[in-house]
Amino acid sequence: MDRTVTQTEQIKATAPAGTKQLPPHIINIRRKKSKKIIYAVLILALIGLGVWYFFLRPEPAQVPVIRFTALDKGDITKSVTATGTLQATKTVQVGSQVSGTINALHADFNTRVTKGQLVAELDPTFYNASVKAATANHARAKADLDNAARNEARAKQLFTQNLISKADYDISETALADAKATVQQMQASLDQANVNLSYTKIHAPISGVVTQRSVDVGQTVAASLNAPVLFIIAEDLTEMEVQANVDEADIGQVKQGEDVSFTVDAFSGEKFHGIVKLVRLNPVIQSNVVTYTVIISAQNKEEKLFPGMTATVTITNSAVQDALRVPTAATRFTPPSADNNATPPSSRTHDTTKIKGDSSRIGRSRGNSSSGISPDLTGLFDLR
């Protein structure tokens, strides 16, 4: 007959003689605790390995990639770049000195006008009435003057005959002087009324091109403290100017009379030329960025350039012709930092050489003399 062996009997059979045996449930609890400790140790080890791998692992040494190019000769320039806006050299705002309704417009956008040309008319009804009223007042004042002159003549004759007193004669003289003053006052009012009537016809103050029209026929303009702007006229579009905003770090290099080249988006493949006309001392501060306005004059004979276009400006400070050239990136090479056990950069792959005087080599490798940066970089140095 087979006998079933219980777990307790197995433990008793395997336990050494003389050893106090633990109950089975205590043994199970200890086994579970041992597994938890093992799992915890494994998890902590994995966490530590991840921290080391992502945060504490030293980066592998970076070996600089060295490229070589041949020295060449050519023209080099030192320049300052900026952006600006094209403007006409002189623009005039044409306004109205009197209020009224626009009766007619004789100019529109792009209309070429000459100095004194009629460009707009206001309704003159009110001002015609003012002229008539001022004329009537002036005529009445002249009549009063004639009457006062006759009274003064009679009073003078009577005074010489001792028929009136000196006080009565003085009154007639005063009335005559007052009448003269009134005539002058009415004449001034009449002149003012005529001037206001003439202001209803607006003429171009300069010859040029109308670049902006701000009113339409039938619109009412009110001239109070500020004259309303009806037109903006640019005097001559064959000569333009660029108002470039140059950073304060570069403004010290810009001088009056320096050559300038610039491009506009409308003619991306074409370069326009000008000269520095003026460097304004007044700073322009926007968002804590300080710039200075540089005025650049440019010819526009074909009238390709329009006011308001954005220009990308290059101001040439100095230029050298037929100079020995290397890319500027060659002078900015910095070897990677080396550890104590690492080989110094000068003994590994690259030897940097400062450009001074008649230096003609840069980026030397062991035993071979050759320039060390790709020729597609643009900055250049004169090495003569």
Measure the CA–CA gap between 6 and 139, rounded to whole angstroms.
146
Measure the CA–CA gap between 206 and 236, rounded to whole angstroms.
10
pLDDT above 80 (res 364): no
- The pLDDT > 70 percentage for the chain reads 80
Structure tokens at 126: 């009110």
pLDDT above 50 (res 103): yes
Measure the CA–CA gap between 265 and 294, rounded to whole angstroms.
20
* pTM for the full predicted model: 0.62
| Burial class, 273, CB count within 10 angstroms (exposed 0-12 / middle 13-18 / buried 19+) | exposed
pLDDT tens digit sequence for 43-70 = 988 998 888 888 887 777 667 777 787 8
CB neighbour list of residue 179: distance below 8 Å, 6 or more residues apart: 141, 144, 145, 147, 148, 149
**Tokens 């001792």 belong to residue:** 162
